[in-house]
Amino acid sequence: MSVRTLPLLFLNLGGEMLYVLDQRLRAQNIPGDKARKVLNDIISTMFNRKFMEELFKPQELYSKKALRTVYDRLAHASIMRLNQASMDKLYDLMTMAFKYQVLLCPRPKDVLLVTFNHLDSIKGFIQDSPTILHQVDETFRQLTEIYGNLSAGEFQMIRQTLLIFFQDLHIRVSTFLKDKVQNSNGRFVLPVSGPVPWGTEVPGVIRIFNDKGEEVKKTGFKHGGNYVAAQKEGAFELYGDRVLKLGTNMYSANRPVETHMSATSKNLASKTQENIAPNPLAKEELNFLARLMGGMEIKKTSGPEPGFRLNLFTTDEEEEHAALSRPEELSYEVINIQATQDQQRNEELARIMGEFEITEQPEITEQSTSKGDDLLAMMDRL
């Protein structure tokens, strides 16, 4: 498991969330000023400087339930509100879209290009907000600084960590089904055509070398695909042609997107209990996460600018039906967390986290002549 995976997971899922929200805001004819406020508030909260500093520290991935709660709070960081069913659908769309992108990355390092595509699109949402643009550019700088010099092996570990995180999610998405990139069981179809990874050759040739490293024979074989050589590598700078299209906004065509729980997903529910079932440490994990996200303040809907509800379904009836028909074991129950700067609460959180630390064992004062005597002395103290 790579300890450098969490920032990429968070940023890419956040980018997909913004794509979906932007599409639904337009589909429901939300006034332009309100729609811009929602996106600006969410992006500003998402790229909060303090949170980004904590996010980029090497650490293991949070559980699915913890991340689901983070995005629930992020989606409600403005005057917009989502019902449980719409939030579930939003999270399903986010996770399946990014899973598809990770699966199709030509090479592990290209997951960074996918992240840059998301950031480029996010900057398009906030062109008229220089302060928020600066926040996003600062995150871009952190990405290039931390990930720019990682080896291919380290990127492979990051990709593997992401795939492990997504491995039990097989939710059908109408857009993927229509484009025939997803089967009816929710699994994705990997193409056997298109550009090969940058720096590699089109398959079809076998070269044989002698013990001196000299090529002595070359034969060909039919690879069964329609591959072409990559024309150029995507740009890893702040600006430039990413070449790779994965991570761009697939909702720009304004197509309605539905999600369906496949039979495979329902059968796999029992296998994913470790990620979905209540964990005795879940509250502590989320509370610690809340402290990191102290800048994520949810806007009050009272006052001169009232809030509004966004529906990710076509009608309220569809939303209600989705809430009733969703398997209970696959529904993400959000735990309420407080992200205030209350000193007493922070001290309590610090105490909880302190319990997770391994303290140094007290030294044994008795004279011991061997390691066996030390072990016996330790057992006597139990």
In a domain, 267, yes or no: no
- Per-residue confidence (pLDDT) for residue 256, from 0 to 100: 53
Judge whether 250 lies within some domain: yes
Q: Cα–Cα distances in Å, from 85 out to 156, 262, 324, 332, 333? A: 35, 17, 9, 10, 11
CA 289 to chain centre: 15
**Per-residue pLDDT for 274 more than 80?**
no
pLDDT tens digit string along 192-242?
888 899 989 899 999 999 999 999 999 999 888 889 999 899 988 988 999
Residue 363 in any domain: the answer is: no
pLDDT given for residue 311 in this prediction: 79
Q: How many CB atoms lie within 10 A of CB 109?
A: 23
Distance CA 247, CA 232 (A): 18
Query: Which residue is associated with the tokens 């790229």?
Result: 47
Higher pLDDT pick, 302 / 122: 122
Q: 239 Cβ partners below 8 Å, 6+ apart? A: none
Which of the two residues, 306 and 73, has the higher pLDDT score?
A: 73
Rounded CA separation 37/21 (Å): 12
pLDDT in tens, 166-178: 998 999 998 899 9
Residue 247 lies in domain: 5-254+306-356
Nearby residues of 358 by Cβ (< 8 Å), 6 or more positions away: none
Q: Do 170 and 265 contact (CB within 8 A), yes or no?
A: yes
> What pLDDT does 346 receive?
55
Question: Does residue 66 carry a pLDDT above 90?
Answer: no
Residue 263 lies in a domain: no
Q: Diameter of the chain by CA atoms?
A: 81
pLDDT at 177: 92
Mean pLDDT of 175-183: 91
Residue 230 lies in a domain: yes
How is residue 329 annotated by DSSP? Answer: G
Is 103 domain-assigned? yes
Type and span of the H or E element at 80: strand 80-81
Domain annotation covers residue 107: yes
Domain count, the chain: 1
Contact between residue 308 and residue 81 where contact means Cβ atoms under 8 Å apart:
yes
The most confident of the ranges 97-106, 185-194, 243-252, 362-371 is 97-106
Angle between helical axes of 84-104 and 64-75 (0-180°, round to 10)? 120
Give the CA dihedral 280, 285, 291, 292, nearest 10 degrees: -170
Residue 273 lies in a domain: no
Cα torsion angle, 374, 379, 380, 382, sign: positive
Taking the CA atoms of the chain, what radius of gyration do you get in angstroms? 24
Tokens 């966004």 appear where?
A: 310
Q: Kindly give, in sequence order, each residue whose CB lies less than 8 Å from that of residue 181, ignoring residues fewer than 6 positions away.
A: 100, 188, 189
Write out the two tokens for 151.
């080896």
In degrees rounded to 5, what are phi and psi of residue 231? -75, -35
pLDDT above 90 covers a percentage of the chain that reads 43
Coil/strand/helix, residue 213: coil
pTM of structure: 0.77
Q: SS3 of 228, please?
A: strand
Tell me phi and psi for residue 188, to 5 degrees. Answer: -85, 155
